[in-house]
């Protein structure tokens, strides 16, 4: 039901796979995508062990992308909540071992698992897989990711569960969160440009001084990478990110270009900033899989901007979105008010 898992579900369905079960804690009207012909299980809290056992019944492949997470605005202010996602991966692994016939178990880790002392400069070197240790992960969220990665490793070593782990670097694209507090910088900046144009304020707020750096991975690259890593024989966590490093100021330029405007910038220095610089070193993924995420940021941002612009227009017009869910063997379709579609 979330951004990445929703898109992954659609990809698998479109590629002709059947017997797909999508699970999320959110009620169906809050799912990012509901894919027809897929068994959708809403209102299902995967922190609860019994639920994991139920949904893993008969599973051959498990993709764990469930987490209480968001961009910097969310993870810096909700460390305990982020850490509670440890219950999800723990119970999912237990269920995979006990009830599934699991050939592959994918776990979505994060660049937040890396040692933060190596990320204190906007021009710092790109992170290699071995840079997660000695450990000094991003507080809260990052430590949970690091711990859960290790749990995957030990479930493989001790019980033979074929776990595969990717460390995502800031994933963005259409159908992602674009407002409400959990959005990441790419969507937030698109939204701010749209609002500034709409309101005629001609100004946008940027968290920090804008000189912090990141790389951003377009959703399509992320989905391809998940598929490749899951079905590879790469046992250790692998970076899954773009190596196109930009400052947040450059990201803001790109959002402005997508909107065909130029705005005055209001830098909010006390806003959540996270690490000062972060990039993905793709040497290993190139070496092992012969591929790396390569969709240019300008291309992905243009698509993301256009999608957020449409959402914003639809919301203003009070338009509704059709959504379907499966109840037993019946599919129920209803209209969802976009105003409450976060
Ligand atoms: N969210 C957001 N919103 N960030 C902004 C904004 C804004 O309006 N303006 C500037 N920024 C800056 C933040 O201060 C931060 O320095 C940078 O943009 C990137 O912020 P995010 O996109 O929110 O997060 P992140 O890159 O630090 O971390 C994200 O990616 C990780 C994986 O690489 C988070 O989603 C993590 O949860 C994730 O693990």
Q: What pTM was estimated for this model as a whole?
A: 0.94
Ligand 1 atom at minimum distance from 141 CA: 37
Q: Confidence band (pLDDT; 50, 70, 90) for 319?
A: confident
Q: Please report where in the chains the tokens 């270009």 appear, as a residue.
A: 257
Q: Whose CA is nearest to atom 3 of ligand 1?
A: 185
- Omega cis (within 30) before 134: yes
Q: Confidence band (pLDDT; 50, 70, 90) for 339?
A: very low
Q: Confidence band (pLDDT; 50, 70, 90) for 327?
A: low
Q: How far apart are CA 226 and CA 230, in angstroms?
A: 6
Q: How far is the CA of 184 from the centre of ligand 1 (A)?
A: 5
Q: Is 78 in the pocket of ligand 1 (CB under 6 A)?
A: no
Which tens digits make up the pLDDT trace of 48-89?
999 999 999 999 999 999 999 999 999 999 999 999 999 999
pLDDT given at position 329 = 54
Residues 6+ apart with CB under 8 A from 95: 49, 52, 53, 55, 56
Looking at every residue in the chain, the average pLDDT score rounds to 94
pLDDT given at position 303 = 98
Q: How far apart are CA 85 and CA 183, in angstroms?
A: 18
Q: Is 218 a catalytic residue?
A: no
Which tens digits make up the pLDDT trace of 219-253?
999 999 999 999 999 999 999 999 999 999 999 99
Of 32, 107, 114, 141, catalytic: 141
Q: Is 208 in the pocket of ligand 1 (CB under 6 A)?
A: yes
Does the structure show a pLDDT above 80 at 111? yes
Q: Is 73 in the pocket of ligand 1 (CB under 6 A)?
A: yes
Q: Confidence band (pLDDT; 50, 70, 90) for 337?
A: very low
pLDDT given at position 324 = 55
Testing ligand 1's pocket by substitution, the residue of 179, 185, 250 carrying the most ligand atoms inside 8 A of its CB is 185
| H-assigned helices in the chain | 3-14, 49-56, 72-75, 79-83, 86-98, 141-159, 185-199, 219-230, 248-259, 283-289, 297-316
Q: How far apart are CA 113 and CA 133, in angstroms?
A: 9
Q: Is 10 in the pocket of ligand 1 (CB under 6 A)?
A: no
Does the structure show a pLDDT above 70 at 41? yes
Q: How far is the CA of 71 from the centre of ligand 1 (A)?
A: 5
Torsion angles phi and psi, residue 31, rounded to 5: -70, 145
Q: Is 111 in the pocket of ligand 1 (CB under 6 A)?
A: yes
Does the structure show a pLDDT above 60 at 268? yes
Q: How far apart are CA 71 and CA 75, in angstroms?
A: 6
Region 324-334 average pLDDT: 55
Q: Is 169 in the pocket of ligand 1 (CB under 6 A)?
A: yes
């Amino acid at each position: 039901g979330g951004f990445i898992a929703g898109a992954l579900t659609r990809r698998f369905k479109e590629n002709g796979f059947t017997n797909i079960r999508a699970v999320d804690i959110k009620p169906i009207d809050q799912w990012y995508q509901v894919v027809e012909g897929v068994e959708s299980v809403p209102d299902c809290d995967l922190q609860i062990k019994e639920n994991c056992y139920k949904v893993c019944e008969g599973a051959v492949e498990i993709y764990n992308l469930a987490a209480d997470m968001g961009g910097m605005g969310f993870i810096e202010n909700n460390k305990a909540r982020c850490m509670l996602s440890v219950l999800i991966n723990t119970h999912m692994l237990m269920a995979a071992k006990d009830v599934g016939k699991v050939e592959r178990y994918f776990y979505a880790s994060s660049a937040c698992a890396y040692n933060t002392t190596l990320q204190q400069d906007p021009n710092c070197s790109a992170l290699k897989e071995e840079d997660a240790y000695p450990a000094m992960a991003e507080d809260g969220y990052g430590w949970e990711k690091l711990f859960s990665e290790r749990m995957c490793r030990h479930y493989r070593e001790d019980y033979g569960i074929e776990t595969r782990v990717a460390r995502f670097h800031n994933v963005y694209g259409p159908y992602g969160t674009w407002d409400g507090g959990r959005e990441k910088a790419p969507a937030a900046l698109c939204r701010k440009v749209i609002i500034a144009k709409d309101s005629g304020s001609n100004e946008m707020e940027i968290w920090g001084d804008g000189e912090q750096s990141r790389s951003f991975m377009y959703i399509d690259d992320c989905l391809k990478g998940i598929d490749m890593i899951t079905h590879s024989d790469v046992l250790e966590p692998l970076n899954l990110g773009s190596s196109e490093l930009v400052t947040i100021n450059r990201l803001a330029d790109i959002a402005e270009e997508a909107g065909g405007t130029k705005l005055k910038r209001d830098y909010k220095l006390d806003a959540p900033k996270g690490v000062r610089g972060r990039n993905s070193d793709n040497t290993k993924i190139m070496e092992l899989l012969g591929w790396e995420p390569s969709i240019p940021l300008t291309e992905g941002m243009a698509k993301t901007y256009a999608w957020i612009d449409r959402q914003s227009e639809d919301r203003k017009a009070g338009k509704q979105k059709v959504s379907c869910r499966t109840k037993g063997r019946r599919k129920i379709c209803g209209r969802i008010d976009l105003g409450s579609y976060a």
